[in-house]
């Protein structure tokens, strides 16, 4: 296959679609549209601006920005300047920002006034060498007519994503931008939307692959447009279908928590509006976590929209996907057909299936340990990567997920490593033991309860200590990592070898 060159292909898309809409800024009064020509100009200016800030090839930039035009422009500017970008959610903690900066030796933190200024002040103390820039709104900035004549290059650009590592400590996963672009184009081609110019709605967090790959790179590969919205919330849910119609969305891309919420609130939606939506929606995807065939069927019956399920990991992007033409396979409890040119094998098979291993050209680069040291993915002798999921595969290459590593859950689409949670919690001054145990959750699909043993169990101090621990846990974890419940125990049952017996904790 020919070598992928994101910089050249992106510029070709912009030059060939200058007057076509690339981005739509959601607004309650009058939405603002950004053409591909304007987007390219913003990127050109910000590539120049990053050079002025002293950024050189292979430098790392951390962004602490909400879903916004600015986040998209900084991401694309970095990708086209041979820089690495490491986005973090605005709700993250100062310790995670400092850890990421230390791991990556980042040169620059780009943020906005929407981020808690106390966190920024603490970062200045923790890491005085990190340059911090507050970004102005691009919509308030006039585009200059002059062209900076910059040559876009992307052969060594990388995206760094924070993820839960199997060792229990946070890891920083590295993807080459060109690998992600290759995967985005491949996915669009499989679904025959590569020249569709469809409109997508981006309400998944732009600090994760969902917001930057699924709902940015894939739409661009389609020469489509993207409605930029804040991360999905209760307010998004209340006006979901009205906005779907107002902004003429062609492609729906949701996660199971959103789908279940839409099902739950169906009675509040006018039936005539639903009929209009079903005609507007050209294709609908669901992924990031398991979604039962019964729920898929219920969604179809309520909204007359078929959800195409896809399966993949942050490390691999897509491994399998439902395809509209494969009607006979959709209602099996599967996650679609293994994508062409991707190979899947099962090891250590038993009655529940086997360990799913995958060989793919879309594999991530590795985990970053420091700026000059990326640990490569651990592969077997045939270059297969262990997904840590358990499943089955039939003669039609339809993949079914039957289980996963019990230490890692998917809470609302976000990976949460329970071992990592336990290690973080055990750093608490008054905590002697901790156990995080997964539970089924009506809204998130999966969540967990946290069981804690305090150092001092004297009744006179226990209430005060428990309140301190709850605050400590919430301050130490990102919000999506918070437990469903925190329960305090006098002791945690263990085996003779000292291993925690989670099955005996109630």
Please enumerate in sequence order all residues whose Cβ is within 8 A of that of 10, keeping only pairs 6 or more positions apart, or say none: 76, 80, 152, 154, 220
Q: Is the dihedral of CA 356, 182, 219, 83 positive or negative?
A: positive
d(CA 90, CA 87) in angstroms, rounded, equals: 9
CA–CA dist 456, 420 (Å, integer): 24
Judge whether 463 and 499 are in contact, CB under 8 Å: no
Tens-digit pLDDT profile for the chain (506 aa)?
Answer: 567 899 999 999 999 999 999 999 987 677 799 999 999 999 999 998 898 888 998 899 999 999 999 999 999 999 999 999 999 998 888 888 988 998 889 989 999 888 888 888 988 888 888 999 998 766 666 656 555 556 777 688 999 998 755 444 567 899 999 999 999 999 999 999 998 899 999 999 999 999 999 999 999 999 999 999 999 888 889 899 999 999 999 999 998 889 988 998 998 899 999 999 999 999 999 987 777 777 888 999 999 999 999 999 999 999 999 987 765 555 456 888 999 999 999 998 776 788 899 999 999 999 886 656 778 888 989 999 999 888 899 888 889 887 766 677 888 778 788 878 887 888 777 787 888 988 888 888 889 999 988 876 544 455 556 788 888 888 888 888 899 999 998 888 875 545 677 778 86
Alpha carbons 134 and 110: distance in angstroms, whole number: 6
Alpha carbons 499 and 403: distance in angstroms, whole number = 23
Q: What angle do CA 346, 350, 354 make, to 5 degrees?
A: 20
Question: For residues 416 and 448, is the Cβ–Cβ distance under 8 A?
Answer: yes
Q: Which of 85, 100, 319 is nearest to 208 (CA)?
A: 85
Q: What pairs with residue 25 in β-bridges?
A: 32, 228
Which pLDDT score, from 0 to 100, does residue 119 have? 87
Closest of 334, 339, 379 to residue 357, by C-alpha: 379
Q: Which residues contact 30 (CB under 8 A, 6 or more apart)?
A: none
What's the start-to-end Cα distance of the chain, in Å? 55
β-pairing verdict for 431-441 and 445-454: antiparallel
Query: What local confidence, expressed as pLDDT, does residue 142 receive?
Result: 61
Count Cβ atoms below 10 Å from residue 345 Cβ, excluding itself.
14
Are residues 219 and 200 in contact, defined by beta-carbon separation less than 8 angstroms?
Answer: yes
Which residue, among 446, 409, 437, has the nearest Cα to 493 in the 3D structure?
437
Q: Where are the domains of the chain?
A: 6-403, 409-504
Q: Nearest 5°: phi and psi at 408?
A: -125, 125
Which architecture characterizes domain 6-403 according to CATH?
3-Layer(aba) Sandwich (3.40)
Edge-to-edge order in the sheet of strand 32-35:
32-35, 21-25, 225-228, 199-202, 251-254, 283-286, 307-313, 317-321, 337-338
The pLDDT, as a whole number, for residue 497 is: 47
Listed residue (462, 504, 501, 469) closest to 485, CA to CA: 469
CATH 3.30.300.30 fits 409-504, yes or no: yes
Backbone angles phi, psi at 52, to 5 degrees: -65, -30
Q: Which residues pair with 350 in a beta bridge?
A: 353
C-alpha angle 403-408-410 in degrees, rounded to nearest 5 = 80
**What are the pLDDT digits (tens) for 376-394?**
888 989 999 999 888 899 8
Please tell me the chain's helix, strand, coil percentages from 3-state DSSP, rounded to the nearest 5.
Answer: 35, 30, 35
Q: Give the pTM.
A: 0.83
User: CA 132 to CA 108: how far, in whole Å?
Assistant: 6
SS3 label, residue 485: strand
What is the pLDDT, as a whole number, of residue 43?
94
SS3 415: strand
pLDDT in tens, 451-483: 988 876 544 455 556 788 888 888 888 888 899
Spell out the residues 6+ positions from residue 487 whose beta carbon is closer than 8 angstroms to its own.
449, 450, 451, 452
CA distances from 257 to 237, 272, 435 (A): 11, 25, 25
Residue 330 in contact with residue 305, Cβ under 8 Å? no
CA distance 285 to 291: 11
Q: Please state, in angstroms and rounded to a whole number, the distance separating the CA atoms of residues 451 and 365.
A: 36
pLDDT recorded at residue 460: 41
Directed axis angle between helix 256-264 and helix 293-303, to 10°? 50
Provide the pairing of β-strand 366-370 with 170-176: antiparallel
DSSP 268: G
List Cα–Cα distances, 494 to 36, 370, 435, 500, in angstroms.
Answer: 60, 37, 11, 4
Contact 307, 286 (CB under 8 A): yes
User: What residues contact 212, with CB distance under 8 A and at least 6 apart?
Assistant: 75, 87, 159, 206
Do residues 45 and 193 make contact, with C-beta atoms less than 8 angstroms apart? no
Alpha carbon 419 to its chain centroid, in Å, reads 20
């Amino acid at each position: 296959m020919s070598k992928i060159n994101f910089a050249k292909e992106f510029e070709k898309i912009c030059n060939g679609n200058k007057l076509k809409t690339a981005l739509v800024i959601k607004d309650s009064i009058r939405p603002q549209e950004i053409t591909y020509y304007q987007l390219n100009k913003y990127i050109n200016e910000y590539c120049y601006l990053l050079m002025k800030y002293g950024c050189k090839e292979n430098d790392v930039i951390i962004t602490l920005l909400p879903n916004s035009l600015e986040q998209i422009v900084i991401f694309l500017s970095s990708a086209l300047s041979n820089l690495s970008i490491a986005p973090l959610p605005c709700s993250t903690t100062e310790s995670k920002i400092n850890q990421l900066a230390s791991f990556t030796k980042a040169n620059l933190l780009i943020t906005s006034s929407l981020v808690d200024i106390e966190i920024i002040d603490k970062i200045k103390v923790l890491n005085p060498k990190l340059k911090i820039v507050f970004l102005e709104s691009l919509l308030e900035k006039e585009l200059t007519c002059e062209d900076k004549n910059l040559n876009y290059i992307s052969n060594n650009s990388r995206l760094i994503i924070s993820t839960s590592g199997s060792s229990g400590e946070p890891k920083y996963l590295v993807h080459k931008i060109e690998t992600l672009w290759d995967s985005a184009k491949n996915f669009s081609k499989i679904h025959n939307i590569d020249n569709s110019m469809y409109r997508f709605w981006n309400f998944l967090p732009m600090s994760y692959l969902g917001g930057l790959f699924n709902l940015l790179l894939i739409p661009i590969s389609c020469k489509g447009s993207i409605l930029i919205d804040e991360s999905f919330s209760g307010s998004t849910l209340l006006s979901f279908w009205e906005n779907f119609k107002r902004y003429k969305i062609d492609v729906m891309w949701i996660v199971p928590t959103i789908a279940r919420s839409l099902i739950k609130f169906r009675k509040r939606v006018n039936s005539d509006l639903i009929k209009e939506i079903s005609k507007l929606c050209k294709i609908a995807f669901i992924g990031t976590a398991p979604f039962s065939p019964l729920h898929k069927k219920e969604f179809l019956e309520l909204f007359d929209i078929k959800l195409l399920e896809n399966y993949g990991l942050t490390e691999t992007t897509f491994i399998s996907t439902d395809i509209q033409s494969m009607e006979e396979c959709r209602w099996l409890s599967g996650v679609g057909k293994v994508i062409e040119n991707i190979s899947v094998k099962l090891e250590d098979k038993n009655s529940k299936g086997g360990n799913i291993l995958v060989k793919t050209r879309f594999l991530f680069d590795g985990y970053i340990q420091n700026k000059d040291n990326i640990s490569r993915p651990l592969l077997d002798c045939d270059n297969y990567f262990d997904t840590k999921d358990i499943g089955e595969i039939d003669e039609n290459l339809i993949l079914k997920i039957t289980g996963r590593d019990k230490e890692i859950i998917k809470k609302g689409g976000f990976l949460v490593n329970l071992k990592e949670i336990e290690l973080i919690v055990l750093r608490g001054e008054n905590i002697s033991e901790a156990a995080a145990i997964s539970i089924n959750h009506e809204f998130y699909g999966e969540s967990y309860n946290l069981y804690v043993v305090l150092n001092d169990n004297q009744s006179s101090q226990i209430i005060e200590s428990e309140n301190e621990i709850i605050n400590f846990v919430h301050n130490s974890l990102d919000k999506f990592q918070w437990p469903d419940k925190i329960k305090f125990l006098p002791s945690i049952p263990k085996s003779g070898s000292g291993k925690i017996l989670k099955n005996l904790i109630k």
